[in-house]
């Protein structure tokens, strides 16, 4: 039963960013590239081999392959319409998009706080707990109330630095990507 369920899930066909798409048009021309985004009545593909982006109207597509699998045109058009609807909803109410420097700097103070500013508590919460615990161990040891072992302090300091550096770079990258997507970066 579980193998059947795994195969059913594995063969789901939702179009996703960077899926390989091969479109045969009504005139027999083939346009091949990677899915970038949906348009209102078109699909936008990146084509690195041609160093361009192609907008293909849905009305002229005769045959569709996504990741080397043939797909019914109606199903593909439905997925493009769904992706377009999701894009419009995202654009109408975008997630928080502060400056990358702000989220990076806040993560240097407490790892994960930049992710929290961006609304990504699923990532930031666990980083905050580990970093706060590491800084707490350092504080207890520095106050003279801990074990007095240098290896405990160094381990906690290394963990804190690792979490802060990862959190700062990841949060800044995420903020930069969001701002670029909203057209706020040039």
Residue bearing the bigger pLDDT, 93 or 34: 34
Neighbour-count burial for 99-128, b at 16+ CB within 10 Å, e otherwise: ebeebbebbeebbbbbbbbbebeebbeebb
Claim to verify: residue 87 and residue 104 sit in the same structural domain: no
* In a domain? residue 186: no
pLDDT band at 103 (very low <50, low <70, confident <90, very high): very high
Claim to verify: residue 105 and residue 174 sit in the same structural domain: yes
Which residue range(s) make up the domain with 66?
Answer: 2-92
Q: State pLDDT tens for residues 53-79.
A: 989 999 999 999 999 999 999 999 999
Residue bearing the bigger pLDDT, 1 or 54: 54
Mean pLDDT within 104-133: 93
Look at residue 11 in the predicted model and tell me its pLDDT. 46
Q: In three state form, how does the secondary structure of the chain look?
A: CHHHHHHHHHCCCCCCCCCEEEEEECCCCEEEEEEEEECCCEEEEEECCCCEEEEEEHHHEEEEEECCEEECHHHHHHHHHHHHHHHHHHHHCCCCCCCHHHHHHHHHHCCCHHHHHCCCHHHHHHHHHHHHHHHHHHHHHHCCCCCCCHHHHHHHHHHHHHHHHHHHHHHHHHHHHHHHHCCCCC
pLDDT band at 6 (very low <50, low <70, confident <90, very high): very low
Claim to verify: residue 7 and residue 52 sit in the same structural domain: yes
* Domains of the chain: total: 2
Instruction: Look up the CATH number of the domain holding residue 70.
Output: 2.30.30.100
Claim to verify: residue 73 and residue 129 sit in the same structural domain: no
Look at residue 64 in the predicted model and tell me its pLDDT. 94
Claim to verify: residue 30 and residue 79 sit in the same structural domain: yes
């Amino acid at each position: 039963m579980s193998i059947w369920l795994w195969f059913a899930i594995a063969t789901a066909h939702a179009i996703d960013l960077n899926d390989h798409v091969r479109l045969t048009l009504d005139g027999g021309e083939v346009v091949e590239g990677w899915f970038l985004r949906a348009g209102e009545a078109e699909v936008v593909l990146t084509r690195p081999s041609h160093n361009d982006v192609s907008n293909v109207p849905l009305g002229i597509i005769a045959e569709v392959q996504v990741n080397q699998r043939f797909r019914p045109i109606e199903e593909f058009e439905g997925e493009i319409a769904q992706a377009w609807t999701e894009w419009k909803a995202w654009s109408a109410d975008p997630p928080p998009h502060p400056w990358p420097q702000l989220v990076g700097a806040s993560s240097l103070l407490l790892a994960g706080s930049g992710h929290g500013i961006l609304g990504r508590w699923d990532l930031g919460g666990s980083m905050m707990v580990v970093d706060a615990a590491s800084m707490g161990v350092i504080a207890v040891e520095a106050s003279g109330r801990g074990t007095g072992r240098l290896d405990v302090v160094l381990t906690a300091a290394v963990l804190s630095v690792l979490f802060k550096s990862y959190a700062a770079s990841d949060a800044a990258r995420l903020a930069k990507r969001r701002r670029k997507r909203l057209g706020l970066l040039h």
